[in-house]
Structure 1
Amino acid sequence: MDHASVLALFDRDLREGARPDGPGARVERTGGVVRQTAPEHGWNGVLWSALDETDADAAIAEQVAHFTALGREFEWKLYGHDRPADLGQRLAAAGFAPEPEETLMVGEITDLRLDTGTPEGVRVVPVTDRAGAELVADVHEKAFGADASRLRRQLLARLSVDPGTVVAVVALAGGEPVGAARMEPVPGTPFTGLWGGGTVPAWRGRGVYRALVAHRARVAADRGHRYLQVDASDRSRPVLERLGFAPLTTTTPYVYVPAR
């Protein structure tokens, strides 16, 4: 895989040419910024920018004003190769708070090692309804120690309005949810995004995460996609590298919360 070419393709198709990711969302280009504005329970933020030292601060101020007027918390998704080089410092100075850095990893499906089996006693099942969405949210809260109310609402909305935009799965050991994950195919591009892969603490290190990646990779291949994309944490990066994913750059969410 030509890393530079794939990164350029990623920027073009998934960032500069981004499509709305859920019901009620719209993607807009304003100046040198591509942003998504969505309902309160959706993802609001900046996906791509082409800025330099002369216009970055004004662009940041414009986005703050836009989302603050809507009462929306939003995220500026900063990648390691974005410019200007001090964009993260400028965001922090404007009141954004950085979350933990992740690694953008991409794998060409035909090159991945997907012969990993499902752990004994575990089955991976598709999520299609409210009950399944509740299982995904339950795993999310246990795996990441974070509130899953927004995820629950987003997933239910997408399954109800446009189920083709998301593939969600849950790993069950007996009737107990022990892992869950989502996949978001991007129509008209070779990419499919893998999101939210998590395993409850008692089941980590037993192959559940690998099984969830392999399952989604097979679904993506059946749909004609070529690449899988993941924003990997330090915990998941080693597993993904063993499966054949390559790191392309870093990504850091900078979050702005308007004053109430």
Structure 2
Amino acid sequence: MPDGSQATPEERAALLAAYDAQLRGVSEVQGGLSWDRSGPLWRALVNRGGFVSYESLESLGTLDAVDALIAETVAFYAARPEVEEFEWKTRGHDWPPDLDQRLRAHGLQPDEVETVMIGEARHLAVDVELPEGVTVRRVDQLPEREALVVEASEVAARIFGGGPSGEEMLDRLDRMHGLEQFWVAEASTHEGSRVVCSGRLARVEGTEFAGIWGGSTLPEWRGKGIYRALTAARARAALAEGVRYINSDCTVMSRPILERSGLVAVTTTTPYVWRRS
């Protein structure tokens, strides 16, 4: 199995080019309730918020045009009272280099920086030994999916300090019409079965990619191979649907696991968030 940390500069550049061409812009707003365009931007409405994606801002040509587009976008969302906040998703290799300062000047504040990881799905689709009493399965297609997705969403919210509710996640799964799968790892305890880790597999229509999102594991169950097993199961499911690449925006905690599995760090991503005052 290749180690993603050992990838050559040429390999990283090729993966980044595929990422920019296939996963930014319209591909990134497919889960929205609705979306529109403004110049290079794709602007989505998602539940009580918004989301902005683009492949590149270089077509704007000037820094004044960048500032004008940011101001227009803030006004676009501010005029919609149902929008409590929106996210402008940046990448570490974006133009202009001072985009951070320009977004801050319009009231957007950065959240945590994450690493964009990409690699061949086949590298992740390996056998992983699970602790005794732990099982991994896909649940979005099951009759009991509602209870499991709600439980998993509550677990993820406790770990991350927030996130979509179970009802919002169920609504998203319905809107995606099978493009997204929901997976859980469950542990048998004296009180019965409980969800200890969960995550989504999101196939991106019209591309070679599927994203792995979530993977939130309860603290007392970490370090036991559960996240890696959940990742492997999703990778096998992606391969079965003809996917070539897996991508993930990962935290510092997840990056070493994904690199050992063959994913390559190609850039960083930082969400800049505007919140209604």
TM-score (norm. length: structure 1): 0.91
What's the % identity of the aligned pairs?
A: 41
Q: Shift of residue 116 of structure 1?
A: 2.0
After superposition, what is the alpha-carbon deviation per residue over 1:194-253, rounded to whole angstroms, capped at 9, x for unaligned?
Answer: 111110011011111101100100000000000000001011111111111110000001
Give the distance between the partners of 2:204 and 2:19, measured in 1 at CA: 11
Contact in 2 for aligned 1:135/1:170 (Cα 8 Å): no
Partner of 1:18: helix, strand, or coil?
Answer: helix
AA partner of residue 129 (structure 2) = G
After superposition, what is the alpha-carbon deviation per residue over 1:17-61, rounded to whole angstroms, capped at 9, x for unaligned?
Answer: 4264336232x2211322223332xx6211114144231111110
What is the match of residue 50 of structure 2? 44
What is the match of residue 107 of structure 2? 95
Runs in 1 of length 4+ with deviation above 4 angstroms?
none
1:194 lines up with 2:203 in the alignment: no
Q: Which has the higher contact order (CA 8 A, sep 6+)?
A: 2
**Deviation larger for 52-61 or 30-39:** 30-39
AA partner of residue 189 (structure 1) = T
Give the distance between the partners of 1:18 and 1:162, measured in 2 at CA: 12
Contact in 1 for aligned 2:122/2:235 (Cα 8 Å): no
| Within-5 A mapping of 1:150-161 | 150-161=164-175
Using a 3 Å threshold, how does the CA distance of structure 1 residues 151 and 186 change in structure 2: closer, same or farther?
farther
CA RMSD of aligned residues (A): 1.8
What is the match of residue 30 of structure 2? 21
Partner of 2:205: helix, strand, or coil?
Answer: coil
**Deviation larger for 161-170 or 238-247:** 161-170
TM-score (norm. length: structure 2): 0.86
Structure 2 residues without counterparts, runs of 5 or longer: 1-6
Q: Shift of residue 191 of structure 1?
A: 0.5
1:64 lines up with 2:74 in the alignment: yes
AA partner of residue 243 (structure 1) = S
Give the distance between the partners of 2:21 and 2:276, measured in 1 at CA: 30
| Within-5 A mapping of 1:118-157 | 118-128=130-140, 129-144=145-160, 146-148=161-163, 150-157=164-171
Give the distance between the partners of 1:112 and 1:171, measured in 2 at CA: 17
Using a 3 Å threshold, how does the CA distance of structure 1 residues 13 and 92 change in structure 2: closer, same or farther?
same
Using a 3 Å threshold, how does the CA distance of structure 1 residues 161 and 113 change in structure 2: closer, same or farther?
closer
**Deviation larger for 125-134 or 174-183:** 125-134
Contact in 2 for aligned 1:23/1:162 (Cα 8 Å): no
How many residue pairs get matched?
254
Structure 1 residues without counterparts, runs of 5 or longer: none
Using a 3 Å threshold, how does the CA distance of structure 1 residues 226 and 92 change in structure 2: closer, same or farther?
same
Q: Shift of residue 187 of structure 1?
A: 1.3
Give the distance between the partners of 1:23 and 1:99, measured in 2 at CA: 21
What is the match of residue 203 of structure 1? 221
**2:255 aligned residue (222, 237, 240):** 237
Give the distance between the partners of 1:116 and 1:105, measured in 2 at CA: 20
What is the match of residue 217 of structure 1? 235
1:167 lines up with 2:174 in the alignment: no
**Deviation larger for 220-229 or 2-11:** 2-11
Give the distance between the partners of 2:219 and 2:97, measured in 1 at CA: 38
What is the match of residue 3 of structure 2? none
Give the distance between the partners of 2:50 and 2:166, measured in 1 at CA: 16
Q: Shift of residue 161 of structure 1?
A: 4.1
Give the distance between the partners of 2:88 and 2:232, measured in 1 at CA: 30
